[in-house]
Amino acid sequence: MVSDEASAEAIRKRFGLASYDAAVVLGSGWGPLLDAWPDPIAATTYAEVGLRPPVAPGHAGQLVAFEHKGHRTLVFSGRTHLYEGHGPAEVSRNVRVAAALGVKTLVLTNANGALFQDWPLGQIMMLTDHLNLTGTSPLHGATFVDLTETYSLGLRQRARHEAELDGIDLVEGIYAMLPGPHYETAAEARAISLLGAQALGMSSVLEAIEARAHRMDVLALSTVTAHEASGEIIDPDEVVEIAGREAGRLGPSIWRLIEGLGV
């Protein structure tokens, strides 16, 4: 695997743009978010620029670039997960590459199992905070990063406003990340609920930590695709299908939010 800077340089050469303002990471099933966006200026596979191709269902492994009114956005369609065994630094490598390209705003997306049973399947939650239950970090050495305001209040307010224009109600909550790849037992889900989380999953937290180390503003969106400790059987294909349906609805809202960052 090539270095972060080498991947950044490969992206510059491939797409012809020296830097980007924002980046979006599309999690499980979130590909339809782009359906309502304008045509990209370029796209390529992860392998072509030295990024590790994702293996999880609903992760396309494509890098897509958009430019509108001088504002440039890079979309990572898919991510590496901790359960793949490549280590936490590889999980957050996309964020370091984005930082090398000048990105200041990061939008993370994923699917979750809700610990709050009243939230319907398809409900989209904005992360206000997280519990890192992986026992690891993407950072090494004496790299002390303040995570007090990991998830930007300003971006959450803008996202809520844009979503309301499209008739979409966003809720807020705390997300717990576990290493996976197995889903949690009912006892584990109940224990995590007692710690204060409203939802849990297997991604995004390590990327958010890396992003704050690079002083990026972070917005994280998570779709309820199952109810934990409910007796429901969790089907990975259903997770992707539910997330994709809701991501498509939210596409116009997120495009306006990102477009507005350049104003």
pLDDT in tens, 7-33: 999 999 999 999 999 999 999 889 999
pLDDT over 90 for what percent of the chain? 81
Kindly report, residue by residue over 135-191, the tens digit of the pLDDT.
Answer: 999 999 888 999 999 999 999 999 999 999 999 999 999 999 999 999 999 999 999
For tokens 């937290």, what's the residue? 205
Which residues on adjacent β-strands are paired with residue 76? 25, 63
In this prediction, residues 193-199 reach a mean pLDDT of 97
Amino acid at site 238: E
Beta strands 105-114; 217-227: pairing state: parallel
The pTM assigned to this predicted structure is: 0.95
End-to-end Cα, the chain, rounded Å: 37
Kindly report, residue by residue over 223-240, the tens digit of the pLDDT.
Answer: 999 888 777 776 667 777
Kindly report, residue by residue over 118-145, the tens digit of the pLDDT.
Answer: 999 999 999 999 999 999 999 998 889 9
262 pLDDT exceeds 90? no
Please give the domain boundaries of the chain with CATH numbers for all domains: 4-260 (3.40.50.1580)
CA dihedral 53, 108, 226, 125 (to 10 degrees): -170
State both tokens at 8: 């950044």
Which of 190, 221, 206, 229 is CA-nearest to residue 135?
206
For tokens 């979409």, what's the residue? 168
Asked if residues 123 and 224 have their Cβ atoms less than 8 Å apart, the reply is yes
Beta strands 22-26; 105-114: pairing state: parallel
263 pLDDT exceeds 50? no
State both tokens at 41: 């200026």
